[in-house]
Structure 1
Amino acid sequence: MSSLLLRYPAKSGSNLLVIKTHRHIKLISSNGFKVITPSRTLITGPPPSVPSSHRHTTPTSAPLPSPEPLPFFSPEVSAAQSQGDAKPLYVPGSQADRLARVGRMSSPLRRGSHESWWSGEMGWFNAVAKTIPTYRVLDEEGHLVKGTKVPEITKEEALAMYRTMTLIPIVDNVLYLSQRQGRISFYMQCAGEEAAIVGSSAAMLEGDEMFGQYRESAALLHRGFTLDSLMSQCFGNVEDKGTKGRMMPVHYSAPELGFHTITSPLATQMPQAAGAAYALKLDEDRQGDCVICYFGDGAASEGDFHAALGMNSVLGGPCIWFCRNNGFAISTPIIDQYAGDGIASRGPAYGLDTIRVDGNDALAVLSAVREARKRAVEGKKGVLVEAMTYRVGHHSTSDDSSMYRRVEEVKEWTVVDNPIHRFRAFLASKSWWDESSEKELLASHKSKVMKAFSRAEKLPKPKLGEMFNDVWGVGKGDEVPAVIMEQRAELGRLLKKYGDVWEPWRKERKRFVEEGMDVMDCDGRGS
């Protein structure tokens, strides 16, 4: 590195320090050491006192105004000196002199910062911007916001989105009530978040990878997941191809659609998504593909959130971090979760392009995620999207939200800012939808949902011994670990002793293929 203090005539009279590194040069003003601009023009030269043996010059690529070499600038000088005081800026034997002799300079730019300047005053800050705007295309009544740009969308694309947005509430209602009746064990709705989930899914392409949290049923359905597959997973029957009947309901998996298995622990999908994005970056055959990772405001309070964004920002890889900020982490409201300005304020800290969008506006979400995908793929980097929405339903079937929020509040949101109503109004304004179409669609949805529900409920569960498979990554021909053999044999012994005697077990056995005989009739090695 070498440097030279220059004074350019006809400018503001400030001194410019030209710093050359092995990569580029920077022009730094003596008035606060603020970085003015980077440049590829190579200008080097020693301060007056540097011995000729230390001098190194490189021709400039373009002529510049003839500068007058001045003494080396040091940030140690007073403000008066830096503003043109007659006192000398360069003193032999000073720190500036010592730094110049070894080809270094005193700079506020360290390895951990990108842009800064020296200041004699404390520069406290608590935000990278005074305010973060919330992007929207449609207002609460579904009218276009004045001056906004409507994203390109065909009638077929818009109707496909609307069909999914109107389908998922019916699915949610049927499965929620079925849990209350003891027909499935658990369920989580996405009521109120239909626009955020479907709009973002619609912006992704076929080859993209998707990591859901647990409210992304609609995204999966929009991607091509069938109602039969969804119901089979919730019932854990023999047609649950993704998780083979071994996962809780709503823990979907569809490798053929690029949808990775949902896991129960909060935010664990985020480091996985960061790794997948990095893999895409390295895979020459998948340049142009992208990852989208869904998470909520509660997940953003987990350590995995920071680990994932840190990894993605440093290693790179096309990833859209899509935050559904619905106001609650189970029963904890956002005011008790963080003091900062939402999740969007954290993006710039990790060097991520960030946007906040109205999560109840399907068109705004579609437009924002399309742009996010473009930035992520072209820059091979992460992009953060915070969708501001509201969780209308309970957290899950294990939750009663009336204990921590007013029922009237929920009703207000369903009326005042309903994402489905807003998008329907847009469709009607384009003459793409009417009341007769609405009635026909809802009737069709209900029929298809109930048909898939009834079919899935009647199908048996997989063989009981299936629960021991895929635990240790044992493949065909591999020896089964002793611990698995012992556990399987123990279950077989208990079934033989109590399977026909204890009523709960006798009833449960009948739900499995072979009624558990595959476990009772083996030595623990499996069938």
Structure 2
Amino acid sequence: MLGQLETTYVQYLSPEGKLSVAGHAVWNQLSAEMKISFYRWMSFVRMFDRRSVILQRQGRIGTYAALEGQEAAQVGSALALSKEDWIFPSYREHGVAMIAGMPLSQIFLYWMGRVEGCKPPEGVRLLPPSVPIATQIPHAVGAAWASKLKKETSVAVAYFGDGATSEGDFHEACNFAGVFRVPAILFCQNNGYAISVPFSRQSASPTVAEKAKAYNFPGIRVDGNDVLAVYDVMKQAIERARAGEGPTLIEAVTYRKGPHTTADDATRYRPASEVEEWVKHKDPLTRYTRLLKAEGLLSDAEEREWEAECKAQIDSAIKEAESSVPAPPEHLFAHVYAKLTPNELRQQQQLRKRGGRR
């Protein structure tokens, strides 16, 4: 169980697509539908991500935070959650948002700067992406605490990067989570860099997972590019939380293939040899596709068919988002303060005098 796996590195599927003994045990418990679902979501998320980068370069969306390379961490963890669970994402969890039930067109609207992209459909317990680093982690712990007080079975998960563990919000959240034993999962996607700062310059602790020891709850380190290991570790953490055993800190060790955002130049701080190692030899989708094909669950023709279907869905979502009625200029003021300050009132009046032109 997780309580016995502190700082252990969990990996079931090798970069070559080979299952370990423990991996075989997990694999054999999964339905064929679930096995295919992992692949379909990871490939769909990757195609969405690549298309989004192109849209940004074309000036059709704003600055974009790419996630390619982190598909297994997001898909494996999100598929372990249920509709009753609360999700508190950072700005890179587009894959998690899709699985939770956020329409693709609304995710595009978010990156177009539209407030509609922050509001999930009824019944989808997904909070808006948090751009300030680590602020969503105490919120998730608060939601988990509320769930415990109300004797509900829902858990709350906070998604964040390794840079967030250098913020006070992370440690305050861990402290509250440990003291009150709340049903929270703190899910760190450690991609090695807080923008341009490597993890070795952020923390004297060699791992994120071991930080949980200070707060007296389990911390576990998992290969974030192994979708099976991520799913299994997340599933165990959820079971612990629902059973009243408290929080878990999960460190999914992964890597973003590209820059921090489309406004960043990662070649200035990441050595080419490091990037090549992760991109060519540790890719999460490549290793899982190898496994499916070896098991006879995926053919080249089926792979092409799914890619065509993904493209059609993404094209349709882009068309829907871009055909939305333009946001009125007043939206600049509608979601900032409950009551506008004198400065904002003055700006609003100036905008109206100009006929709504920005």
Q: Same fold (TM over 0.5)?
A: yes
Of 194, 204, 226, 2:71 maps to: 194
Q: Is contact 1:188–1:214 with CA below 8 Å preserved after alignment?
A: yes
Of 132, 138, 154, 1:289 maps to: 154
- Deviation per residue, 1:290-329 (Å, 9 max, x gap): 1111111110011111011011111231001111111111
Of 147, 150, 162, 2:26 maps to: 150
Structure 2 residue 7 is the aligned partner of structure 1 residue 140 = no
Match of 1:346 in 2: 211
Match of 2:127 in 1: 260
Distance in structure 2 (CA, Å) of the matches to 1:409 and 1:429 = 28
Q: Is there any run of 5+ residues in structure 2 with no aligned partner, and where?
A: none
**1 or 2 for the larger relative contact order (CA 8 Å, sep ≥6)?**
2
Measured after TM superposition, the shift of residue 221 of structure 1 is 1.0
Q: Please tell me the residue identity of whatever aligns with 1:198.
A: V
Q: Is contact 2:189–2:253 with CA below 8 Å preserved after alignment?
A: yes
- Deviation per residue, 1:193-215 (Å, 9 max, x gap): 10011000011111000011121
Measured after TM superposition, the shift of residue 454 of structure 1 is 3.1
Distance in structure 1 (CA, Å) of the matches to 2:345 and 2:196 = 42
Measured after TM superposition, the shift of residue 441 of structure 1 is 0.7
Q: Is contact 1:274–1:308 with CA below 8 Å preserved after alignment?
A: yes
Of 440, 443, 462, 2:308 maps to: 443
Match of 2:272 in 1: 407
TM-score normalised by structure 1 residue count: 0.63
Distance in structure 2 (CA, Å) of the matches to 1:481 and 1:140 = 55
Query: Secondary structure of 1:137's partner?
Result: coil
- Deviation per residue, 1:139-161 (Å, 9 max, x gap): 11111113543153212222222
Match of 1:427 in 2: 292
Structure possessing the higher radius of gyration over alpha carbons: 1
Q: Please tell me the residue identity of whatever aligns with 1:145.
A: S
Distance in structure 1 (CA, Å) of the matches to 2:273 and 2:55 = 25
Q: Please tell me the residue identity of whatever aligns with 1:322.
A: F
Measured after TM superposition, the shift of residue 485 of structure 1 is 4.2
Measured after TM superposition, the shift of residue 362 of structure 1 is 0.3
Of 9, 25, 40, 1:163 maps to: 40
Match of 2:195 in 1: 330
Report matched runs for 1:62-211 at 5 Å: 132-148=7-23, 149-150=25-26, 152-211=29-88
Measured after TM superposition, the shift of residue 242 of structure 1 is 4.4
Distance in structure 2 (CA, Å) of the matches to 1:451 and 1:267 = 33
Query: Secondary structure of 1:464's partner?
Result: coil
TM-score normalised by structure 2 residue count: 0.91
Q: Is contact 1:161–1:222 with CA below 8 Å preserved after alignment?
A: no
Query: Secondary structure of 2:263's partner?
Result: coil
Q: Please tell me the residue identity of whatever aligns with 2:14.
A: D
Q: Is contact 2:107–2:117 with CA below 8 Å preserved after alignment?
A: no
Q: Is contact 1:254–1:261 with CA below 8 Å preserved after alignment?
A: no
Query: Secondary structure of 1:379's partner?
Result: coil
Distance in structure 2 (CA, Å) of the matches to 1:226 and 1:167 = 13
**Residue identity (%):** 34
Q: Please tell me the residue identity of whatever aligns with 1:262.
A: P
Structure 2 residue 348 is the aligned partner of structure 1 residue 492 = no
- Deviation per residue, 1:324-363 (Å, 9 max, x gap): 1111110111121112121111111101112111111000
Distance in structure 2 (CA, Å) of the matches to 1:311 and 1:452 = 40
Q: Please tell me the residue identity of whatever aligns with 1:387.
A: A
Q: Please tell me the residue identity of whatever aligns with 1:443.
A: A
Measured after TM superposition, the shift of residue 253 of structure 1 is 5.1
Distance in structure 2 (CA, Å) of the matches to 1:159 and 1:180 = 32
Query: Secondary structure of 1:210's partner?
Result: strand
Query: Secondary structure of 1:260's partner?
Result: coil
Query: Secondary structure of 1:386's partner?
Result: strand
CA RMSD, 1 decimal: 2.2
Of 323, 326, 329, 1:464 maps to: 329
Distance in structure 1 (CA, Å) of the matches to 2:187 and 2:320 = 34
Match of 1:222 in 2: 99
Q: Please tell me the residue identity of whatever aligns with 1:202.
A: L
Runs of 4+ in structure 1 displaced over 6 angstroms? 480-483
Report matched runs for 1:272-283 at 5 Å: 272-283=139-150
Measured after TM superposition, the shift of residue 399 of structure 1 is 0.5
Distance 1:255 1:414, change over 3 A: farther
Q: Is contact 2:7–2:219 with CA below 8 Å preserved after alignment?
A: no
Q: Is there any run of 5+ residues in structure 1 with no aligned partner, and where?
A: 1-128, 244-251, 475-479, 500-504, 506-527
Q: Please tell me the residue identity of whatever aligns with 1:361.
A: D
Distance in structure 2 (CA, Å) of the matches to 1:242 and 1:458 = 14
Q: Please tell me the residue identity of whatever aligns with 1:150.
A: V
- Deviation per residue, 1:245-267 (Å, 9 max, x gap): xxxxxxx7566311111122100
Q: Is contact 1:281–1:380 with CA below 8 Å preserved after alignment?
A: no
Task: Give the structure with the larger helix fraction.
Answer: 2
Distance in structure 1 (CA, Å) of the matches to 2:138 and 2:121 = 19
Query: How many positions carry a matched residue from both structures?
Result: 352
Q: Is contact 2:200–2:206 with CA below 8 Å preserved after alignment?
A: no
Structure 2 residue 215 is the aligned partner of structure 1 residue 355 = no
Query: Secondary structure of 2:159's partner?
Result: strand
Q: Please tell me the residue identity of whatever aligns with 1:488.
A: Q
Query: Secondary structure of 1:188's partner?
Result: coil
Distance in structure 2 (CA, Å) of the matches to 1:463 and 1:380 = 48
Distance in structure 2 (CA, Å) of the matches to 1:450 and 1:147 = 40
Distance in structure 1 (CA, Å) of the matches to 2:302 and 2:329 = 46
Measured after TM superposition, the shift of residue 381 of structure 1 is 1.6
